[in-house]
Structure 1
Amino acid sequence: MKSIALNRFFLSIIFLISLYTSAQKQAERDLILIDKDWRFSFGHLYDTQKDFNHATGYFSYLTKTGFGDGPAAQNFDDRAWRKLDLPHDWAVEQPFSEKGSFSHGFKTAGKGFPEKSIGWYRKKINIPDSDKGRIISLKFDGVFRNSKVFFNGYFLGTEESGYNGFEYDVTAYVNYGGENTVVVRADASMEEGWFYEGAGIYRHVYLKKTNPIHVIANGSYVTSEIKENNAEVTAEVSVENKGNYKGQIEILQSVIDADGKQIANISQNVIAPDFYKTSSYSSKLQVNNPLLWDIENPNLYRLITEIKQEGKLIDRYETSFGIRTIKFDAEKGFFLNGKSLKLKGTNNHQDHAGIGTALPNELQYYRIKKLKEMGSNAYRCSHHPPTPELLDACDKLGMLVIDETRLMGINDYHLNDLKRMMERDRNHPSIFCWSVGNEEWNIEGGIVGERITNVMQGFTKNIDPTRPVTVGISSGFKSGISSVVEIMGYNYLGNGDIDAHRNQFKQQPGMGTEEGSTFATRGIYFDDEAKHYKSAYDKKPRPTFYSIEEGWKFYAERPYLAGMFIWTGFDYRGEPTPYGWPSVTSYFGMMDVCGFPKDNVYYLKSWWGDKPVLHIMPHWNWSGKEGKEIDVWIHSNCDEVELFLNKKSLGKKKMELNSHLEWKVKYAPGTLEAIGYKNGKKALLETQKTTDVAQNIKLSADQENQVNANVVVVSVETTDKKGLHVPTANHEITFSVKGGKILGVGNGNPTSLEKDQFIDAVELVPITNFEEKKLASANASNLISSDDNNWKEAFKDRDYKNQAPSYVYRGKFELSNNLSTNTVNFFYKKIGTDAVVFVNGNKIAASVEDNQKYVLTSNVLKQGTNTIQIIAPPLQKVKDWDVMNTDPGIIQVITTAEAWKRKLFNGYAQIIIQKDENAAEVVLSAAANGLNTGTLVMKK
């Protein structure tokens, strides 16, 4: 008996401990990713009926609280809408058209396409009853653009910019212990930039739960000062009280190293802020012998902020940070941790081949790795705040960042955007400079630009005094912004005399915020104006612009210039300068939109990197050009290079610093061979060989991204019978995958009008001409009416106190697609009890999983006009003011997508795969006419 009692005692103790642990966890902070299982449909820019009659009610969401109507209403029926996961960019899914926007890559979305400019998103979430007493918020990393957000029909707010993160407190509106509805309406009709921006919820969304006393959003600020071998870390934290507690709280700050070891901690007892007030508290912690963050060793620490109330932990907030020093010198350039460092940067937009702006986290790392492999050490966010995952990748991989706001100005709209960007991003050690503007031609050279810059620069210093401020300037370097900005940002050598400006403002550090702007098409070595192809040889693009080599030489030779940022690291959708339609991507990138390198990458590798490089351009497949001279360039950092054609020497040449070598070679099939010499000895060997015809498909997963990654980037190419890559191949490759799904395909061709994505099309077809007729009996459920007598407009002037026992309703819907390959469903919205549905005279049974869904097979449907009849006893009003549903439902037509495919472009294509959560492996297959099938197996 004693042992039984002891067992019960211990079990009760364990139970109490588990209850305490559960309660403690609930009292702390939760940040839950809610990207899965959203519903999506297009609305309409100005046709309210096509916009689901949103904002047409007697009371709209702006007149009375909780009156969100149309899709904003909590009980709106979205069953027919498309299912998808976030992030999502609906623009990339659209076809191309010459009527589309030049700057946005001619996609049929946004401006000029009102039926594809409004996107509605809806999601159901459950919030348990145990969350009562906590603060519940929705956190959005970015929606493009002009988003309106609703929660359970309550309007939360509007965020105009497509690049700002934002949060809404929904605590008062929560249905605890039940279902809650999140609704977002995105309006992408207006462009915010002059480059491809995508459309929709293209960044992550979270559900956040905190104690009423908590660290506010982006509420920590960590700085450090290095003294000898130690660092003094200042941790400032802003705490908000959305509850009624009055009294003392304890704030504990701890520094954790990369191994998870606590290396410093401090606590302080303070008075909690008053109701709905915020207070800031500052602590200093000593870190001995810190591991500094730099581009080669991006060492990171974590600051853990804990809040205790009466000894109980109520909030825990984590901040990643790095310890490092930065300095600009007007004579000697830029210094990181006291060491001179030449900035070798690129500008980049945020889209990628096949998936637009909705980048998975893994792709951010993939792109930064590609830039680092090229030798780049700096990244400029052009021209807007980036997604948080990009900055995380730069922190972890060692890439310096210029963080840039979207628009210059001195009012709340401009300064609040700048403030939010800085408070969100200022703990990232990768960020070394804030940019408050770019190429504002209207104000750059005048007093207005000077005034605005002074305000924004001072405002920036109040938020973060540890980093300098720059502006990218292109309309002359003489006055206005140029005369007052802290770090001069020169955009292009041809736009002004940089040396003259420096001599006038000798105390002002400077860097090339944009340089190059060259045109090149990957794998193309002769201009083809008819095809809109530009040769990949690094040539001066325009009289006032300079080649990449000319630009780098200029900045490399001037110690007072901190470095330069090339326009651009990657090609991007839109701005297809110097062409227009049918070019749909830019030509500026060192890499194409997939990240496949153009030849300029090897020039930069030679002089930006620290590894031996030897690269021959072009390829050596020139059938039909036998005996004609081909320009052969060598990119290398060897001392000398000797070139051979079919074992015959074509001469040895010395390599000048920051240069390349050239030969004129009469084409003959065979092997072009280069030998690089260092200190008089052979160091490197490189060849270009004439290949046989393509025979095999080769699939290669990005190795660093493959293991334990949810998303994998796969390169597609063809090889000949000897395994050599065929650089002129252009086969169309068809793909299939098991254990995963394809997110997008691309090939780097700037004129490709192929689909980026192959997804099922969901069309919503309305029921029109909806009429009704009274029936004498409620049991007349099998009676369908074919005569045209006594029909009237459905529900018009209905006397709900004197309704007929039953009604028969009829309407029409139009089908224009191939019925045999489509899935057609009728989603019934209740207009009566015990409804019976007929289509074209055929009685339709409700589906098993949903008794208000009817599957319409091709044998009952007709091409063109179809008739639907519904027989049902009427619904009765409980209260006189009840609003009765008069919408019978919607016809959903799903057109199955064709197989995923893409043509190779100059021998390459790319496919992006997302692994299924429970799949042990992913198998990708690729097939093409006349080629052996390629297969790639990726383990989970």
Structure 2
Amino acid sequence: MHSDKQFQMNGKRRFGKQVGRIILVLMLFCRWSTPAAAQSDNLPGGRIKMGFNDAWFFGKDEKDQAGAASLDVLKWKKITLPHTWNAKDVLDDEPGYYRGTGWYKKSFKSNMSWKNKSVFLCFDGVNQETEVYVNGRLAGSHKGGYTGFVIPIGHLLKFEGNGWNDIAVKVSNRYNEDIAPLTADFTFFGGIYRNVNLLVTEDIHFSKADYGSDGIYIRTPLVSDQKAAIQTENKLENASGKIRKLKLITVLFNAEGKQVAEKTTSVLLAAGESKLIKQDLPVLEQPNLWSVDRPYLYRIVSRITDAAGGGILDQVSSSLGLRWFKFDAEKGFFLNGKALKLVGASRHQDYQGIGNAVPEALQIRDVELLKAMGGNFLRVAHYPQDPVILESCDRLGILASVEIPIVNAITESEAFTAVSKNMQLEMIRQNFNHPSVVIWAYMNEVLLRPKFGNDKIRQQLYFDHIRELAQSLEDLTRKEDPSRYTMMACHGDFDRYHKVGLTKIPMIVGWNLYQGWYSAGLDDFAKFLDKHHQVLPDKPLLVSEYGADADPRIRSFRPVRFDKSIEYAINYHQVYLNAVLKRPFVSGAMAWNLADFNSETREETMPHINNKGLLTLSRQAKDTYFLYQAYLLDRPFLKISSELWRDRAGISDPSGTISTQPVQVVTNLTSAELFLNGKSLGIRQSKDKLCEWEVPFKQGENSLRTVDPNNPLNSDQLVLNFNLVPQNFTGPLGKDFHQLNILLGADRYFIDQDLHQVWIPDQPYQQGSWGRIGGNPFKGSNNRISYGSDKNILNTDLDPVYQTQRIDIKQYKMDVPDGDYELNLLFSELIGGIDKEALAYNLDNNHVKEKAEERIFSVQVNGKVFLKDFNLAENYGYATAVKQQIRLNVTGGRGITIDFIPVKGKPVLNALQLRKTN
């Protein structure tokens, strides 16, 4: 990566300059629209909700030295919320990222009309410990980074004098053993990264002291095609100093705005009293049902009025979707009495270049992209997310599960249990009224990294504590909401979870399964599903995760596990989807993940990014996304899958005029026809939603078009540029030869999207051509990959170019025509350096500590010494990109010969680039 740690849009990679412009436009849109959006919640009555995102200042407190009264010691910069302080440092080459304290401050002027009212600051999400100060006094605090919370501040505001108030918010994302998550395969961005609103109400209002909720809970104890029973639970609060006679009025409107039901209840509230009032609305006849195909939403408006008249004191509007559902261990999931296979994805909340401080417009777009894919389920993982996510699920017809972030491990303390239970209550109560939510979950892969591995007795006690915590969360959840299901997501060690007793606790067991990726054998996936059904025949099953890394810059015509190619990922998802769809007892499956996301500790081909997403971090569709459209959409679908592979290269045939490569079309049709430059290449029958042709590409621009043979209007087209690499320099292409970009020790292609260059696999040398002599592909110290390394290569954006190599190479020959050339030899020492912890998710990893060996060699080019006693590790360090360049003039038809002469150890070459300069 970059030696100067300069931040770029995607850290190590730049997927296009236009993405930055899009983000800027969306951020500006959201910034200016926030107050208006907040005002849209302001209904008649005493409630006013205002956006509070502008005119903040941020200062990093690395020494944790500041206090509410001593903020002048910090360096401040003006920012607008949402904001994270980790947008850049999670993508540089320096291990780790800032996990510490930051302060936010803002001044604002009180409105005199608020003086005798209740005033609150409403935070949608702050990671992860928060203290809120108003005019130097502590107003409230919160633990947990992924649920909203409300801080009353009215009693601390200034109204006399000039009425100006100072708000200071202390935030920390430090490691705290009492707050989940303790560890996880995602980044714990710090900051006030979601919206903040200022809420002003009358002293008589719906409670804001109920775990961050609106204080209103809607239940539907009976729903059918014929009728629906609707109940509301309303928490009213009297913050005034006198007794009040009130009316609670609940009105139900249909989607067209027509009132269809009403209920009024008289209420007597003592001074300072909070009271729960339950109401049964009149039974609704012939209700419109909420479904994934027709997400019909009613509206419930809850009002508090003075019994003697005088207008509305408080009013809250809530969505209502009427549906009923069931998970069946034998037959799967049913919505409104009809079987429905749940297929969708999980989601993380960060975005390219801005971390987790994502504008609402981009978050909504994620749910829209899931719907456009044909998905009907969103696993909101591994934590509750921005309120707009479930609002969008309600509106678009996406079912959902939500979970708290207990990931990988727990702390055996009363404090950890208390915070976890508080998170669960906040999650449930804040999201209770969303019809899209059908599952509450509370643990993810909690036995993946069990503590006390060297003390089995102590480890058993740890397992007992996990089981006790799981049971307490299960009991709490069922008491809070008996209408929904509970779930725990477990990794693929069936016997361990079953032995510990965790499979018996939740109503649904979710399995995160990666057979064919983290553990070997794609065929083992179906076997695992069948094992669950045999051992736990009464327990509903969801595949809560599955996926394979898919780097959109890497392609392969012979894909293998861990090569990170799009082609392997396509095959992987075909196997999983086929197995899920043919088994009725599998309620559904959630691909991991909807989009790529940041995981700072990861290395691999795209360091700091988990790229199992169906979309890139900037939400460009990968081929796998199109595959899901072919499987899930109920309309005819036809797509040339190489949307992100518009620059291709390949070795020519003996004629020197074409290079033949496979092209795939994803479709839900039985067949498709492909045209190249207007000429038909024939009709192919689809298999597992794919049709494939061997396409003879010519040099330069090639136009592909695929059509439905039965409906030519249904078509898709793609124009790509092909670089024809000469097989033999004596052939027709020899005189027009321009450039070679060669990967050594690789069987995959790499696309440099910035320079529109394609790096192709190496080949053995043949007379008149080009290629290697001697050497073997480098293989790292684990069994995860068949060739190459997965280390983060420093000082480059192009890690895959340097992650493979030929070791013990003897010679490289290129029989190029006479002329002037620029030759680049690319090296990286892949053995040695800091031994890092193996990725916990690689279940069959046999990683052993590498032992560095001294490697010294010389390089001659056409008989002249180019590099003398070359020592990569000593001169440049380990896993560091090294490029050595030489210019040469080739005469007398001798071509180019590169000799590698060992001094100590075995010579290596990672990649080679040759460019003709005249």
Q: Normalising to structure 2: TM-score of the pair?
A: 0.64
Give yes or no for contact 1:147–1:184 (8 Å, CA) kept in 2.
Answer: yes
For residues 440 and 728 of structure 1, what CA distance do their matches in structure 2 show? Answer: 39
Counterpart position of 2:201? 210
Shift of residue 424 of structure 1? Answer: 0.2
User: Are 2:23 and 1:37 aligned?
Assistant: no
Answer whether contact 1:297 1:398 (CA < 8 A) is retained. yes
Whole-Å separation in 1 of the counterparts to 2:466 and 2:43: 51
Alignment partner, residue 185 of structure 1:
170
Does residue 552 (structure 1) correspond to residue 577 (structure 2)? The answer is: yes
Q: Is the 8 A contact 1:398 1:430 kept in 2?
A: yes
**C-alpha distance in structure 1 between counterparts of 2:332 and 2:702, whole Å:** 44
Corresponding residue for residue 98 of structure 2: 110
For the Cα contact (< 8 Å) 1:567–1:588, is it kept in 2? yes
The answer to whether 1:613 aligns with 2:637 is yes
Deviations 1:658-712 (A, max 9, x none): 442334445434646464546x66574344444499xxxxxxxxxxxxxxxxxxx
- Partner residue, 2:484: 467
Alignment of 1:44-193 (within 5 A): 44-46=62-64, 48=65, 51=66, 54=67, 68-71=68-71, 81-94=76-89, 96-101=91-96, 109-111=97-99, 117-177=100-160, 178-190=163-175, 192=181, 193=184
Distance 1:534 1:246, change over 3 A: same
Deviations 1:73-115 (A, max 9, x none): xxx699x7322211112211448432233xxxxxxx424xxxx
Specify the code of the residue in structure 2 equivalent to 1:633: Q
Q: 1:223 aligns with which of 219, 235, 256?
A: 219
Where 2:281 maps in the other structure, the secondary structure is strand
Relative distance call for 1:343 and 1:146 in structure 2 (3 A) is same
Report matched runs for 1:620-769 at 5 Å.
Answer: 621-627=647-653, 628-645=659-676, 650-656=681-687, 658-669=688-699, 671=702, 673=704, 675-677=706-708, 684-691=714-721, 730=754
Alpha-carbon contact 1:639-1:677 (below 8 Å) kept:
no
| CA distances 1:101-147 after superposition (whole Å, capped 9, x unpaired) | 3xxxxxxx424xxxxx3221111122223322212221111111211
Which amino acid in 2 is paired with 1:597? A
Aligned counterpart, 1:724: none
Q: Take 2:494 and 2:43, find their aligned partners in 1: how far apart are those partners? A: 57
Distance 1:372 1:242, change over 3 A: same
* 8 A Cα contact 2:350 2:357, kept in partner: yes
Give the one of 241, 258, 262 matched to 1:261: 258
| C-alpha spacing 1:528/1:37, structure 2 compared with 1 (3 Å) | farther
Pick closer, same or farther for the CA change 1:751–1:142 going to 2, 3 Å.
farther
Instruction: Read off the aligned partner of 2:85 and give its amino acid letter.
Output: W
- Inter-partner Cα distance in structure 1 for 2:207 and 2:558: 56
1:590 is aligned to 614
Cα offset, 1:579, TM superposition? 0.9
* Residue identity opposite 1:181 in structure 2: D
Structure 1 CA distance for aligned equivalents of residues 589 and 795 of structure 2: 34
Which position in structure 2 is the counterpart of 1:565?
Answer: 590
For the residue of structure 1 that corresponds to 2:546, the secondary structure is strand
- Do 2:376 and 2:398's aligned partners in 1 also have CA atoms closer than 8 Å? yes
Q: CA deviation at 1:407?
A: 2.2
Q: Are 2:233 and 1:236 equivalent residues in the alignment?
A: yes
Work out whether residues 528 and 534 of structure 1, in 8 Å CA contact, stay in contact via their aligned partners in 2.
Answer: no
AA matched with 2:62: H
1:251 and 2:248 are equivalent in the alignment: yes
Pairing partner for 2:567 from 526, 532, 537: 537
Matched letter for residue 606 of structure 1: A
Could you tell me how far 1:564 is from its partner in structure 2?
0.2
What's the offset of the Cα at 1:533? 8.2
Q: Is the 8 A contact 1:487 1:510 kept in 2?
A: yes
Contact kept, 8 Å, 1:673 with 1:687, in 2: the verdict is yes
CA contact (8 A) 1:641 1:674 kept: no
Relative to 1, partners in 2 of residues 1:376 and 1:25: Cα closer, same or farther, differing over 3 Å?
Answer: closer
Is 1:506 the counterpart of 2:494 in the alignment? no
Tell me if structure 2 keeps the 8 A contact 1:607–1:637.
Answer: yes
**Deviation of residue 640 (structure 1)?**
1.6
Q: Deviations over 1:615-659 (max 9, x none)?
A: 234446434532354232221111123445456655543223x44
* Deviation of the 1:36 alpha carbon: 1.1
**Residue 227 of structure 2 aligns to which amino acid in structure 1?**
N
User: Any conservation in 2 of the 1:198–1:357 contact (CA below 8 Å)?
Assistant: yes
- Paired residues of 2:90 and 2:600 also in contact (CA < 8 A): no
In the alignment, is the contact (CA less than 8 A) between 1:644 and 1:673 conserved in 2? yes
> Measured at CA, do residues 273 and 507 of structure 1 come closer, stay the same or move farther in structure 2, by a change above 3 Å?
farther
Aligned to 1:417: 423
Q: Among residues 583, 590, 604, which one is paired with 1:579 in the alignment?
A: 604
1:195 aligns with 2:186: yes
Do the aligned partners of 2:131 and 2:141 also contact (CA within 8 Å) in 1? yes
Report the secondary structure of 1:537's partner residue: helix
Compute the displacement of 1:487 (Å).
0.9
1:377 equivalenced with 2:376 (yes/no): yes
Deviation at 1:601, TM superposition (A): 1.1
Contact map agreement 1:450 1:483 (CA 8 A) in 2: no
Partner SS state of residue 591, structure 1: coil
Q: What residue identity is the alignment partner of 1:497?
A: F
For the 8 Å contact 2:143–2:419, the answer to whether it is kept is no
Please report how far the alpha carbon of residue 605 of structure 1 lies from its aligned counterpart in structure 2 after TM superposition: 0.6
Shift of 1:484: 2.7
CA 1:752/1:315 → structure 2, altered by over 3 Å: closer, same or farther?
farther
Contact 1:39 1:122 in 2 (8 A): yes
Q: Which residue of 2 aligns with 1:453?
A: 470
Instruction: Please name the residue that 2:494 is paired with.
Output: 477
Matched to 1:438, the amino acid is N
RMSD of Structure 2 on Structure 1 (CA): 3.2
Q: For residues 230 and 611 of structure 2, what CA distance do their matches in structure 1 show?
A: 45
Distance, in Å, in 1 between the alignment partners of 2:198 and 2:510 is 39
1:234 and 1:282 in contact (8 A); partners too: yes
Does the CA-based 8 Å contact 1:526-1:534 persist in structure 2?
Answer: no
CA contact (8 A) 1:523 1:598 kept: no
Q: How does 1:920-939 map to 2 (within 5 A)?
A: none
- Which stretch shifts more, 379-388 or 319-328? 319-328
Percent identical residues: 26
Alpha-carbon distance in 2 for matches of 1:754, 1:87: 31
Q: Does 1:603 align with 2:591?
A: no
- State the alpha-carbon separation in 2 of the partners of residues 620 and 131 from structure 1: 59
- Does structure 2 conserve the Cα–Cα contact (< 8 Å) formed by 1:583 and 1:752? no
Q: Distance in 2 between matches of 1:88 and 1:157?
A: 21
Q: TM-score, normalised by structure 1?
A: 0.63
Name the counterpart of 1:441: 447
Checking the alignment, whether the CA contact within 8 Å between 2:289 and 2:322 is kept in structure 1 is yes
Q: Is the 8 A contact 2:492 2:513 kept in 1?
A: no
Q: Secondary structure at the match of 1:612?
A: coil
Q: State the alpha-carbon separation in 2 of the partners of residues 267 and 383 from structure 1.
A: 40
Instruction: Report if the CA contact (8 A) 2:228-2:287 is conserved.
Output: yes
